[in-house]
């Protein structure tokens, strides 16, 4: 009482109950800084300043701390010194885990192990448990996934910490979205059972929220890393820090833009992003061929809006007239430069586009450019190769014969003759079938001592036709291998192979180099379409696959709309 009869005991205007959790705490999840974004240190620095003002118990970063992707030990030290000069301004404890940029090469891996800490680990804080995993294990062993040792650690750690009030799992790549981790992640989910847990990852430079098995999963966006920002925040393309508060049995999560607003945890859902991606769908038909050597691709373009509000799409092929591009020769039959479609919610539309191109220009296709907006605000713009064949018309080669690995010192411009492999290929190709075209490339090579006796083996491709040579040979080193398959055709015909490589490859058909010995690379613009002139009966296809370090794979699928070709690993 203040003497006037007024009650002076303070009471909240809104009584929501007081927190009585003495173990209440917060921590900050910091997203990728590298993978582009070299100019974005001011964004990262602002995030660090704001974390300091908010005073969490600690912070943890989900990988890609430095640019990496090289083996220069001086530069490695310089990049880490640069990172420390910025993150060192933090006034709270800081944890880190490795991203692909941090441990790309043996030199980077060694630096991490010597100067940063373990590649995977766990810790506890006020009754909560944190399991930190390494999704870059293939860079150590060549085998995709977490690997046996890390899985033993993770499953044992989960079993020993079953009574934690909440479990947080953090990693760089979102394992639950990557088929290379499918079986291992299923084991981890089964071990977690019905306990309370939340999962965080990074890598994709784009925020995404989803609920899986009743548990929240976040792919956090960048904190200074490269990204194509969009004003449509539901798309998740913006810089942020993820703020996590643990209180009693609850976990509260907010998204904080450096220097910007505080947003709800579900501002960018996986469902919204999926529906945004599906605003446009390309459906190519099997192209017709003319006797004059012309191919006539036809593309059905379907538009569909499952978003809550109005979207707009503009589709163009305006670069077809650019004579400097490799796909010159492609023309639009209808001379349509662009198509603009306005899509209210739950509406759809479609358009058909006809092209012509000489068959010898199919190896590189033009780009379809898509620009979108949502509620009148630009959302995203992207380019993708015009798909030429329907997926149903492209068959994977289920199994190849493979031999290797042989030593390789080639860089991206040089494919030297592989003398140690010659005797091993004679049974399939004859004494000169493989090497005359390669030997004509005047590059020096040494006749090294014979390697250990190699044997032909059978390797299977995955559902997409990809052959993971790094996993098969358990290597990430520079190497070369040869893959071969027999293709039996009922008649002489021209068809195409659709090829992706990591890193480089050459292709030979029936003893002749395809496209004059061209090197096919893992170009991000799209696949290589490789013309194959099959003869009637058995044809022998050989792929020389070259790795320049890290992941090593090749994918070659064959266009066969009517399923008339037969693939065999028994061809001679």
Domain 276-388: top CATH class: mainly beta
> What confidence tier does 456 reach under pLDDT thresholds 50, 70, 90?
confident
Q: How far is CA 67 from CA 38, 114, 239, 342, 409, in A?
A: 8, 18, 18, 41, 24
Higher pLDDT: 337 or 266? It is 266
- What integer is the mean pLDDT of 203-229? 97
Q: What is the pLDDT of residues 110-145, one digit of tens each?
A: 999 999 999 999 999 999 999 999 999 876 665 678
Angstrom distances, CA of residue 357 to CA of 289, 388, 434: 10, 11, 32
Does the pLDDT of residue 483 top 50, yes or no?
Answer: yes
Which token pair is 471?
Answer: 């996993």
Q: What is the 3-state secondary structure (H, E, C) of 45-71?
A: HHHHHHHHHHCCCEEEECCCCCCCCCC
pLDDT of 375 strictly over 70: yes
pLDDT > 70? residue 85: yes
Domain with CATH 2.60.40.10 in the chain: 276-388
User: For the residues 181-195, what does the mean pLDDT come to?
Assistant: 97
pLDDT tier at 534, thresholds 50, 70, 90: very high
pLDDT digits (tens, 9 = 90+) for 232-282: 999 999 999 999 999 999 999 999 999 999 999 999 999 999 999 999 999
Confidence band, pLDDT 50/70/90 cuts, at residue 532: very high
pLDDT of residue 526: 78
Predicted local distance difference test score (pLDDT) of residue 425: 44
Give one DSSP letter per residue of 117-138, joined into a string.
--SSEEEEETTEEEEE--S-TH
Chain centroid to CA 20: 44
Superfamily of segment(s) 27-239: Metallo-dependent phosphatases (3.60.21.10)
Q: pLDDT value at position 325?
A: 53
Residue 436 predicted with pLDDT over 80 = no
Q: Name the residue with higher pLDDT: 412 or 489.
A: 489
The answer as to CATH 1.10.238 being correct for domain 394-568 is no
pLDDT of residue 412: 41
Looking at residue 335, its pLDDT comes to 64
Q: How far apart are CA 316 and CA 297, in angstroms?
A: 16
| Mean per-residue pLDDT, 518-539 | 85
Per-residue pLDDT averaged across 281-303, rounded?
91
Domain with CATH 3.60.21.10 in the chain: 27-239
Q: pLDDT tier at 434 (50, 70, 90 boundaries)?
A: very low
pLDDT-derived band at 299, boundaries 50, 70, 90: very high
Global pTM value: 0.82
The Cα-based distances of 11 to 42, 94, 222, 285, 358 in angstroms read: 43, 38, 42, 71, 81
pLDDT of residue 485: 93
Kind and range of the H or E run holding 377? strand 377-385
End-to-end CA distance of the chain: 103
Q: What is the mean pLDDT of the chain?
A: 87
Is the predicted pLDDT of residue 90 greater than 80, yes or no?
yes
Residue 429 has pLDDT above 70, yes or no: no
Q: 269-283, 328-342, 489-503: which has the minimum mean pLDDT?
A: 328-342
Query: Which residues on neighbouring strands pair with residue 132, listed in sequence order?
Result: 121, 170
């Amino acid at each position: 009482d203040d003497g006037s009869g007024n009650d002076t005991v303070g009471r909240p205007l809104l009584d929501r109950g007081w927190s009585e959790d003495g173990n209440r705490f917060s921590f900050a999840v910091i997203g990728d800084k590298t993978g582009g974004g070299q100019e974005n240190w001011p964004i990262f620095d602002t995030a660090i300043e704001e974390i300091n003002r908010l005073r969490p118990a600690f912070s943890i970063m989900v990988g890609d701390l430095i640019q990496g992707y090289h083996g220069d030990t001086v530069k490695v030290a310089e990049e880490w010194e640069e990172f420390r000069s910025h993150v060192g301004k933090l006034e709270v404890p800081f944890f880190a885990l490795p991203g692909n940029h941090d441990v790309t090469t043996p030199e980077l891996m060694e630096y991490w192990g010597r100067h940063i800490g373990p590649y995977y680990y766990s810790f506890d804080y006020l009754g909560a448990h944190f399991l930190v995993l390494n999704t870059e294990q293939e860079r150590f062993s060549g085998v995709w996934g977490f690997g046996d040792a890390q899985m033993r650690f993770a499953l044992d750690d989960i079993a020993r910490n079953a009574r934690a009030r909440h479990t947080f799992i953090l990693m760089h790549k979102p394992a639950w979205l990557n088929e290379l981790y499918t079986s291992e992640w299923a084991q981890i989910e089964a071990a977690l059972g019905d306990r309370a847990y939340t999962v965080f990852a990074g890598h994709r430079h784009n925020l995404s929220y989803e609920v899986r098995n009743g548990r929240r999963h976040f792919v956090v966006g960048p904190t200074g890393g490269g990204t194509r920002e969009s004003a449509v925040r539901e798309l998740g393309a913006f810089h942020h820090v993820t703020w996590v508060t643990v209180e009693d049995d609850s976990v509260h999560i907010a998204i904080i833009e450096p220097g910007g607003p505080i947003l709800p945890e579900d501002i960018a859902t996986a469902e919204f992003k999926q529906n945004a991606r599906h605003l446009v769908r390309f459906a190519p038909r099997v192209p017709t061929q003319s006797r004059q050597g012309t191919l006539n691709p036809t593309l059905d373009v379907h538009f569909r809006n499952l978003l809550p509000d109005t979207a707009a799409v503009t589709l163009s092929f305006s670069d077809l007239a650019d004579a400097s591009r490799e796909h010159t020769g492609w023309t639009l039959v209808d001379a349509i430069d662009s198509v603009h479609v306005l899509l209210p919610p739950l509406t759809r539309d479609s358009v058909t586009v006809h092209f012509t191109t000489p068959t010898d220009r199919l190896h590189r296709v033009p780009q379809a450019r898509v620009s979108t907006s949502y509620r009148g605000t630009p959302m995203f713009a992207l380019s993708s190769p015009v798909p030429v064949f329907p997926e149903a018309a492209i068959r994977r080669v289920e199994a190849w014969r493979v031999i290797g690995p042989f030593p390789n010192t080639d860089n991206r411009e040089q494919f030297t003759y592989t003398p140690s492999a010659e005797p091993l290929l004679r049974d399939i190709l004859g004494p000169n079938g493989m090497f005359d075209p390669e030997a004509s490339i005047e590059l020096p090579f040494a006749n090294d001592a014979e390697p250990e006796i190699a044997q032909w083996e059978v390797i299977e491709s995955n559902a997409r036709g990809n052959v993971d040579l790094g996993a098969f040979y358990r290597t990430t080193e520079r190497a070369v291998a040869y893959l071969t398959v027999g293709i039996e055709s009922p008649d002489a015909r021209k068809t195409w192979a659709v090829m992706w490589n990591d890193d480089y490859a050459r292709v030979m058909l029936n003893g002749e180099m395809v496209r004059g010995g061209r090197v096919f690379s893992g170009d991000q613009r799209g696949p290589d379409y490789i013309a194959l002139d099959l003869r009637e009966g058995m044809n022998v296809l050989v792929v020389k696959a070259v790795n320049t370090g890290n992941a090593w794979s090749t994918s070659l699928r064959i266009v066969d709309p009517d399923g008339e070709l037969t693939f065999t690993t028994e061809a001679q």
